[in-house]
Structure 1
Amino acid sequence: MFPTSCDTFVALPPSTEGQRVVFGKNADRPSDEVQEVVYFRANDYVPGTKVECTYIEVEQAAHTHAVVLSRPAWLWGAEMGANEHQVCIGNEAVWGREGCDGEEALLGMDLVRLGLERADTAEKALHVITDLLERHGTGGSCMEDNCNFTYHNSFLIADRTEAWVLETSGQRWAAERVTEGFRNISNEYSITTRIDKEHPKLREYAKSQGWWDGVSEFNFAQAYSYMNTARIEASDSRYCEGKRMMENSNGHITAQTLMEILRDKKSGINMEGAFLSAGSMVSVIPGVPGRSGVHYFTATPDPERSVFKPFIFVPDIRQLKHTCSPWYGEDDPVKQKPRFKSKPDRKHPLFLKHEVASAIIETTKERGKQILQNMRDLEKKKLAEMEVFLVKGVDDVDDGPSLVNLFSNTAQEEMEAYSN
């Protein structure tokens, strides 16, 4: 198997319109995997409480923030998501000189969720992730399979004022701060000599392994990258094409800009084949302190054939029923050892409807064309409606009741658009 996956983007002023931060990601995953979009409310916990992640338990925080997550339906963590404080995180698979076939520990996707639940700024999320990484490490299969598909992780973490790129190798890491312009990450180490924070023994370890001479300027990517560059070269074209497309819209980047980039198949960013773009996310975060952002998710494969549906954090949100997969509890094959002896049906209602619509698009030209037009019309309508809230803000009392079911109602409209 030759695994490749994921591209994540962030744009900050002055590269964006309207003094906003725009964040986007494709979650490229195995073609038979279901991506669900789920919501978890804020909560408080007594000292000593543990939280069960995908493979291991860790100590629970005293308080967790409300989060909306796009995740492979079989695991606890997430590929990408946002919290009520408008922090957004996405992660990527990366491979380096250091092996990544250790025992079960935290997945990079677990760290995405833990960072979102425990931090109200991007920099705090960085500290949450690196602290947990150093204490617990990462390990375990990243696929619902016995193939032992493992990797190191890179993360793009953003809030309304800045972003951080965090790249890991085992329990060591390097981070780069982004305060303006745009940045993207793909399946390769991209932090070079500009390092704003790092593991205390990052350089010492590289020197001990003979990856750095200790005299020349330290270059993280050069020191820690995989010696066989085949995987890096495979992802390089996506990374460069993503960067080029962002540059082409520099100064005018919007949510629509990132949606179109995530839909681009020629570049490979919208992936097809054994790995495909199973779910996509675009977030718009106003620069005005306290103003709510809008977070768009597809919850279905291939963003070109999906609707980016809006979500806004308001009080009293319930679980997102149309994009929530069946739950198997302790009977889930992922929870039992040996793991992955079978794969239960994890398709949620929107996924099932989307499968039918995709088949029609493939086989019936005129009907398929109409379905795609209906989907684009719905998305355009929602983008216009959300612009009002981005400009004026959200009043929890006046606007909250109408936005509680915003995402679920849009998912319902999408399903209706398949048949109209």
Structure 2
Amino acid sequence: MFPTSCDTFVALPPSTEGQRVVFGKNADRPCDEVQEVVYFPAKDYKPGTKVECTYIEVEQAAHTNAVVLSRPAWLWGAEMGANEHQVCIGNEAVWGREGSDGEEALLGMDLVRLGLERGDTAEKALHVITDLLEKHGQGGSCMEDNCNFTYHNSFLISDRTEAWVLETSRQHWAAEKVKEGFRNISNEYSITTRIDKEHPKLREYAQSRGWWDGNTEFNFAQAYSFMTTARIEAADSRYCVGKTMMEKSNGHITAQTLMEILRNKESGINMEGEFLTTGSMVSVIPRDPTLPGVHYFTATPDPERSVFKPFIFVNDIKQLKHTCSPWYGPDDPVKQKPRFKSKPDRKHPLFRKHDVVSAIIETNKERGKQIMQNMRDLEREKLAEMETFLVKGVEDMTLVVDLFSETAQEEMEAYSKH
């Protein structure tokens, strides 16, 4: 298995239609991994409380925001998600001159969730991540087995007004602010000479390792990344194609634009093979703070064969039953040492239905074509409904409290219509 993974996008006015921020990501993971979509309400904690992340405990915050997460079902953190303040975060695996080892610390996916739970703006979420990174470090296997697949992380973080690209190498980091236009990241360092925030010893460390001479203009990507590996070349290809596709729609980027990009297989953005796209997310965030953000998730592999289902933050949301995987508690093999001695069944109800439908699409052309049509009709219907909320707001919260779960149920019903 040759691991590659993920592409993340953000577009801000004037690149988008209307005064909206549009965020999207494909999570590319091992082909046998289940990605679930889960919701956690806001919560207050007593001083001294700890939170158990995937591998280590850290100090809990006094208050955590409500979050919706798309995550590999075996771990605590998330590949991508959003919070009630309309902050969105996605992470990428990156590899560079600094080695990444298997010593257990915080995973990049843990940092995604912690940033969402604790940051009510993109910039605050960035500081949450960098503070935790400097204190606890990053490390540990990023796959549910003993292959010791490890990496550093980059992040794309957005809110209603701006976005930040954050790229890390162990505990060092650099960040670039995005005020307008569009930006995408893949599995390579992309911050060069424009650095708006950085680790206080970022340049000193690079100079001490002979990666920068201290005289020429400092270029983060040039100093910290490998420049000529096959893995980087593959990521660069996806990065460039993604950027080109965004450019073609510049000024008119919508949720549908990003959904089409995330579904693109020719570019490798919609990945197939031993590593594939196991979950996808697209969010639309109006600049107007009185209007809701709409967050779409697939919770199933291959966005081309999935429905982007909408989620809106309101009070009284319950757990998303159709996309929530079984929970094994302290008996989970991930929590035992040595870890990963077995893999329990983590398939959620929607994933099971999707498995059956994927087989039908592969083997029965006519029936598969009708199922795909039903799914697209449902998605278009939901996009049209959400447009009303994005323009006028949500007057009756009861209409959307079960929005995601009801759409997942409709998706499962659409599978059987033929």
Residue 382 (structure 1) aligns with: 382
Structure 2 counterparts to residues 201-240 of structure 1, below 5 A:
201-226=201-226, 228-240=228-240
| Aligned-partner Cα distance in 2 for 1:238–1:292 | 31
Cα offset, 1:394, TM superposition: 2.0
Displacement of 1:14: 0.1
> Is 1:318 matched up with 2:315?
no
Correspondence 1:225-374 to 2 at 5 A: 225-226=225-226, 228-374=228-374
Give runs of aligned pairs for residues 4-403 of structure 1, distance below 5 A: 4-226=4-226, 228-395=228-395, 399-403=396-400
The offset of 1:227, in angstroms, is: 5.2
Whole-Å separation in 2 of the counterparts to 1:229 and 1:131: 31
SS at match of 2:245: helix
Quote the Cα distance in structure 1 between the aligned partners of 2:85 and 2:290: 8
Greater mean alpha carbon deviation, residues 124-133 or residues 283-292: 283-292
Q: Is the 8 A contact 2:291 2:391 kept in 1?
A: no
Partner amino acid for 1:237? Answer: S
1:148-206 CA-to-partner distances (Å, cap 9, x unmatched) read 00000000000010000000000000000000000000000000000000000000000
Taking the aligned partners of 1:286 and 1:229, their CA distance within structure 2 comes to: 40
State the Cα distance separating 1:393 from its structure 2 match: 1.2
The answer to whether the 8 Å contact 1:102/1:138 transfers is: no
Task: Compute the displacement of 1:102 (Å).
Answer: 4.4
Aligned counterpart in structure 2 of residue 415 of structure 1, from 399, 412, 415 = 412
SS in 1 for 2:344: coil
Question: What is the one-letter code of the residue matched to 1:241?
Answer: V
CA distance in 2, matches of 1:321, 1:107: 26
2:168–2:174 CA contact under 8 A, matched in 1: yes
Q: Deviations over 1:52-79 (max 9, x none)?
A: 0000000000000000000000000000
Aligned residue identity for 2:77: G
Kindly state the Cα deviation for residue 230 of structure 1 after the two structures are TM-superposed. Answer: 2.1
Tell me if structure 2 keeps the 8 A contact 1:28–1:275: yes
CA distance in 2, matches of 1:290, 1:148: 46
Cα displacement string for residues 314-370 of structure 1 (whole angstroms, at most 9, x for unaligned residues)? 000000000000000000000000000000000000000000000000000000000
In structure 2, distance between residues paired with 1:169 and 1:290: 38
Contact 2:193–2:217 (Cα < 8 Å) also in 1 = yes
SS of equivalent to 1:58: strand
With 231-240 and 69-78 compared, the bigger mean Cα shift is at: 231-240
1:406 to 393, 403, 406: 403
Quick one: which amino acid aligns to residue 291 of structure 1?
L
Q: Distance in 2 between matches of 1:133 and 1:27?
A: 22
CA contact (8 A) 2:80 2:90 kept: yes
Does the 8 Å contact 2:88/2:116 carry over to 1? yes
Q: CA RMSD in A?
A: 0.6
Deviations 1:201-254 (A, max 9, x none): 000000000000000000000000025432111111100000000000000000
1:12-61 per-residue CA deviation (whole Å, 9 max, x = no partner) reads 00000011000000000000000000000000000000000000000000
Instruction: Write the letter of the residue equivalent to 1:160.
Output: R
CA–CA distance in structure 1, aligned partners of residues 300 and 227 of structure 2: 35
CA contact (8 A) 1:281 1:308 kept: yes
Q: Provide the rounded CA distance (Å) in 2 between the counterparts of 1:2 and 1:154.
A: 20
Q: Which moved more, 1:117-126 or 1:288-297?
A: 288-297
AA matched with 1:72: P
Structure 2: which amino acid aligns with 1:355? Answer: D
With normalisation by structure 2, the TM-score equals 0.99
- Cα drift, residue 290 of structure 1: 3.4
Q: Deviations over 1:356-394 (max 9, x none)?
A: 000000000000000000000000000000000000112
Is contact 2:102-2:148 (8 Å) kept?
Answer: no
Unaligned 5+ segments in structure 1 are none
TM-score (norm 1): 0.99
Rounded to whole Å, the distance in 2 between the matches of 1:10 and 1:176 is 13
**CA distance in 1 between partners of 2:285 and 2:82 (Å):** 10
C-alpha contact 2:144 2:340 (8 A) present in aligned 1:
yes
Q: Secondary structure at the match of 1:333?
A: coil
- Count residues in correspondence: 417
Contact residue 54 and residue 106 of structure 1 kept, 8 A: yes
